[in-house]
A and B are shown apart, each in its own frame.
Chain A
């Protein structure tokens, strides 16, 4: 694919946890593969602890995957050391979940957004100043805020600073880790609008990580649903929401609180039982089988693989094909379409 910007190939990440003398393996990410097309927004959803943030941190070079490869613009970047990774950092940036926690409290806004410039682009003082002013205008911050410190800003402004820091070096791919999770609804709308506007103007590709299905539905063209470190379903967001195939996706989408519809009777909501099992002791067979409403005997024994079940849709569930089926040809194509609604 000539349009792809990022390809993740079967990455795994496990952490070792010591409990007294026992050493246990926590498998955070297991064989996750997907492709992100240039100029699109790719969503990664799932409940907390499903490995979405770890996946992003692996891509951003903040964690080194235990296995698999990450191809970014044709280069394998999965196993580079910090120094070799440096040239890619300019092109691959991340916006973090909690805007206040991710900003250095002792750096003023100016120092925060200037730092990447000093590291990656050696500009003259004049150019640098011009660049900072441009970026501020882009993210909608007034220039008198430059001398402020993070705690003096509102949460919306803090997140704008986080975004400014990420985009100031003209990245090609920005990883958004729950960019709106801690914001009020009205602020959330504005930050999303800003992100989409920036994407249009600068041609950035986003990988959006969120547990907020509303945001994902609104912003992403393709979405992958993760559960316990595995991708269970991947497809075009709108189809995925309308016709979820995997029982987990269905439950996740059904569990969203809705504004209207309570009056329409009890049809909604396949309430799934229980909580996510511990990633230290993964269930046998299909990971979702202890909570699945449609569990079959085979689910307890064999782990289903991701198979192509419809156009542009892959599902890992025994309801849609057995492991004997040939593993589908390729990852779904995240084509060049823009993602705006």
Chain B
């Protein structure tokens, strides 16, 4: 569990106490033929050791770009303008591709959205696990098979022995995702990134996969970053959560705080529009559209869609300020947001 210390580097490269991954002021742009897209404009994120941190937001808000930047898997059109990604005392932004190869899969595991597309269709499950175990753990065929079998059993795959010889097309999507989780956790990585792990899975299978994910992350003693647009998934699974919008982090805190004492109007909008059939829902949505990140607004990114924006929001960008114990929000109107919103969010704040 604690094989790797976070103290290899010294001084500025050291991550804060109890933090596995420290992202500071990360800015990423994409150079496309229709202009420069400002995908990430200054992201700060700390992943606490042994915890699951969820990252929520709508399509195009920069969740996946953040994950890909950590893995250094950004496409060639991307450019990291500034920022540091500190992991294990090293800055991942400055790593060479071959240095990253030694980290990916070994110290940082990742699972992707579409498990079927992420597995190689030409190789059996056993071979794919062998590549990984051979490369990072230097296991021979025999030991690799033993380990693979144990891994598949750990992800509760029925008939693990038979499944080792299966090709991805012979498996259901849920099983493919289990194989992905097994591969991600094969080398007991310090950090585990799951990018939309259950999107496209049926609810009953989703519940199983999430339960498994949670169980394994805690068991291996790993730290996880869970990216999803489904707030329900985050609420069920993660300890901390961050909400992103337009390439910025707008709110961060413990999952409970964010859901019960929401401060940012965007988070409130998201929460209210994701009705889950729990009680007598009303139809809510956030008016307007996501900003064009080729020309990011000069003020707050959410200003154009915000119900409580003031003159200040148009002019300057709000910083993330800590409201209370670890709950940070980037909004000038953080206090007022609930009042204008009325309803539940407002009343919870009244009591506090």
Q: Fill in one digit per residue for A189-223: 1 if any B CB lies within 8 Å of its CB, else 0.
A: 11011001000000000000001011011100000
Of residues 257 to 291 in A, which have CB atoms within 8 Å of B's CB atoms? 257-263, 269, 271-276
Given the interface pairs A186-B270, A256-B276, A275-B172, the reply to whether A193 lies near B285 with Cβ below 8 Å is yes
Chain A residues, Cβ within 8 Å of B274: 185, 214, 259
Chain A residues, Cβ within 8 Å of B283: 189, 192-193, 196, 218, 341
Task: Say yes or no: B211 contacts A271, CB within 8 Å.
Answer: yes
Stretch at the interface among B44-52, B102-110, B115-123, B200-208: B200-208
Chain A residues, Cβ within 8 Å of B342: none
Nearest-neighbor residue (CB-CB) of A157 within chain B: B289
Given the interface pairs A185-B273, A187-B285, A260-B278, the reply to whether A255 lies near B58 with Cβ below 8 Å is no
Q: Which of A214, A217, A251 contacts B204 (CB 8 A)?
A: A251
Given the interface pairs A213-B203, A257-B235, A259-B231, the reply to whether A218 lies near B208 with Cβ below 8 Å is no
* Nearest CB of A to B174, in Å: 5
| A-B contact number at CB 8 A | 114
Q: What is the bound-complex CA distance between A259 and B229, given in angstroms?
A: 13
Given the interface pairs A48-B202, A214-B276, the reply to whether A185 lies near B270 with Cβ below 8 Å is yes
Chain A residues, Cβ within 8 Å of B208: 271, 273
Task: Say yes or no: B278 contacts A261, CB within 8 Å.
Answer: yes
CB of B140 closer than 8 Å to a CB of A: no
Of residues 239 to 258 in A, which have CB atoms within 8 Å of B's CB atoms? 241, 251-258
Chain B residues, Cβ within 8 Å of A128: none
CB of A325 closer than 8 Å to a CB of B: no
Chain A residues, Cβ within 8 Å of B232: 256-259
CB of A10 closer than 8 Å to a CB of B: no
Task: Say yes or no: B206 contacts A260, CB within 8 Å.
Answer: no
CB of B59 closer than 8 Å to a CB of A: yes
Task: Say yes or no: B276 contacts A257, CB within 8 Å.
Answer: yes
Q: What is the bound-complex CA distance between A163 and B59, given in angstroms?
A: 22
* Nearest CB of B to A318, in Å: 21
Task: Say yes or no: A218 contacts B284, CB within 8 Å.
Answer: no
Q: Fill in one digit per residue for A115-127: 1 if any B CB lies within 8 Å of its CB, else 0.
A: 0000000000000
Task: Say yes or no: B256 contacts A263, CB within 8 Å.
Answer: yes
CB of B282 closer than 8 Å to a CB of A: yes
Q: What is the bound-complex CA distance between A252 and B203, given in angstroms?
A: 7
Of residues 194 to 237 in B, which have CB atoms within 8 Å of A's CB atoms? 202-208, 210-211, 229-233, 235-236
Chain B residues, Cβ within 8 Å of A48: 202
Task: Say yes or no: B281 contacts A214, CB within 8 Å.
Answer: yes
CB of A102 closer than 8 Å to a CB of B: no
* Nearest CB of B to A341, in Å: 7
Given the interface pairs A214-B281, A258-B276, the reply to whether A272 lies near B235 with Cβ below 8 Å is no
Q: What is the bound-complex CA distance between A217 and B274, given in angstroms?
A: 12
Task: Say yes or no: B271 contacts A259, CB within 8 Å.
Answer: yes
Q: Which of A184, A190, A211, A261 contacts B229 (CB 8 A)?
A: A184
Q: What is the bound-complex CA distance between A218 and B283, given in angstroms?
A: 8
Chain B residues, Cβ within 8 Å of A185: 58, 229, 231, 270, 273-274, 285
A217-B275, A273-B208 given. 7 additional CB < 8 A pairs?
A47-B202, A47-B203, A47-B205, A190-B285, A251-B204, A271-B208, A341-B283
Interface residues of B (CB under 8 A from A): 58-59, 158, 172, 174-175, 202-208, 210-211, 229-233, 235-236, 256, 259-260, 269-271, 273-278, 280-286, 289
Interface residues of A (CB under 8 A from B): 47-48, 154, 184-190, 192-193, 196, 211, 213-214, 216-218, 241, 251-263, 269, 271-276, 341
Which 10 A-B pairs give the minimum distances between C-beta atoms?
A189-B285, A257-B232, A217-B277, A47-B202, A255-B207, A186-B286, A184-B58, A255-B203, A214-B277, A257-B236
A-B contact pairs, 7 of them (CB 8 A): A184-B229, A186-B270, A186-B273, A189-B285, A257-B210, A258-B236, A259-B259
